[in-house]
Amino acid sequence: MLFACLAASACTKDFIEKDLSKKHITVLAPPNGYSTTTNSITFWWEETEGANEYNIQIVKPSFSWVQLLVCDTMVEGTKFTYTLVPGTYQWRIRCLNGSSDGPFTTLDLTVDSTANISGQTLVLKSPAANYFTKTVTNTFKWDTLYNAADYRFQVINLQNSATVTDITTQADSFSYTLAEGQYKWQVRGQNATSNTLYSSRNITIDLTPPTVSTLLLPTHKDTVSSPDTLTWSRNSSAMADSLFIYPDSLISSPQVQIYTLNTSYIFSSGNGDYFWRLKSRDQAGNWSSWSTLRKFWIQ
């Protein structure tokens, strides 16, 4: 009885979250009272034990007299980058978990105006870095930059280093259609006297279906016992598979239909004959043709 009580107590303890009500955040950057001409600010703090996420808020000019709520967001990591126009700000941050939240830590921040944008960093928004897609027309987006008159947008073919497009726009996005291939897209802000460095990301346009995975076990017309492990070999062009197991040869109503990153599946069922096959999916979302259809018996 004592062992059972201790075990129950230990299990209960595992699910008790830490009380964060007195946990102040230790801010690493930017320091309180920081003044900069760089408008892309990376907020950085120490991880708080027991916290699941952090709430960061930015207002202009202060929390005692809020003229503008600039940002109010939840962050899971310990860094957050945001682009601010010149002005006076206060920002604050607190830690949270499912049962409690800590007090805010509040700091002052000033972003000074400058016509020279050579030290600024242009923040790209989407598509994400190293993006794979089967969509040929994509909209490339970035944050606007104070004192930038316009933006220079380029796409470079990574297979031959050729510049695919090179345009100047006053907008904060540009839609472009690309053929299948690997590319780097980059943007810089510019005005009459200066420009930022390029900020860049890679994108892959993939229109080619992957090679379907190869069924391994059970072999065709094999007899197995339940539960049995179905296994297959995935080609490097694919990242996942959809597995279908049918109770009859009509293959109209699958008994099992799952999407999996694994290359095996434990199948448990009653005696009878079954049929199985796969379709494979690549990182861009293309699907292969069907694999061969195999039959096996469970007895």
Residue 258 lies in a domain: yes
Do 106 and 186 have their domain in common? no
pLDDT of residue 270: 93
The mean per-residue pLDDT over the stretch 112-117 comes to: 86
In the predicted model, is pLDDT for residue 11 greater than 70? no
Sign of CA dihedral 198, 201, 202, 203: negative
Domain-located, residue 83: yes
- Report the C-alpha gap between 48 and 45 in whole angstroms: 9
Which residue among 111, 141, 174 closes a domain? 111
Domain with residue 103: its CATH number is: 2.60.40.10
Residues 154 and 227 reside in one and the same domain: no
Is 37 contained in some domain? yes
Query: Which domain-ending residue is among 205, 236, 271?
Result: 205
Q: What is the dihedral of CA 165, 85, 149, 194, to 10 degrees?
A: -90
Q: Is residue 6 in some structural domain? A: no
Domain termination site, one of 111, 138, 159:
111
* Cα separation, 286 vs 209, whole angstroms: 5
Q: Is the dihedral of CA 265, 269, 274, 279 positive or negative?
A: negative
Percentage, residues of the chain above pLDDT 70: 95
Percent of residues, the chain, with pLDDT higher than 90: 85
pLDDT band at 56 (very low <50, low <70, confident <90, very high): very high
Average pLDDT over residues 151-173: 97
SS (H, E, C) 218-229: CCCCEEECCCEE
- Are residues 218 and 200 part of one domain? no
Contact 276, 265 (CB under 8 A): no
Residues 136 and 102 in one domain: no
Q: Do 97 and 128 share a domain, yes or no?
A: no
CB environment 94-108: b (16+ within 10 A), e (fewer): bbbbeebbbebbbbb
pTM: 0.68
pLDDT in tens, 253-280: 999 999 999 999 999 999 999 999 999 9
221 and 288 within one domain: yes
HSE, side-chain direction, 13 A CA sphere, residue 25: 30
Residue 104's domain spans which residues? 17-111
Asked if the structure places residue 9 within a domain, the reply is: no
The answer on 192 and 226 residing in a single domain is no
Rounded CA-CA distance 271/16 in Å is 45
How many C-beta atoms surround the C-beta of residue 265 within 10 A? 17
Same domain, 128 and 62: no
Q: Does residue 25 lie in a domain region?
A: yes
Can you read off the two tokens belonging to residue 163? 């510049």
* Residue 222's CATH number: 2.60.40.2550
CA geometry: angle at 196 spanning 195 and 198, to 5°? 120
Say if residue 134 is in the same domain as residue 92.
no
Query: DSSP string covering 57-103, please?
Result: EEEEEETTEEEEEEEEEEESSSEEEEE--SEEEEEEEEEE-SS-BPP
H or E, element range at 131: strand 131-133
Averaged pLDDT, 90-111: 96
Q: Is 60 exceeded by the pLDDT of residue 8?
A: no
Give the total number of structural domains in the chain. 3
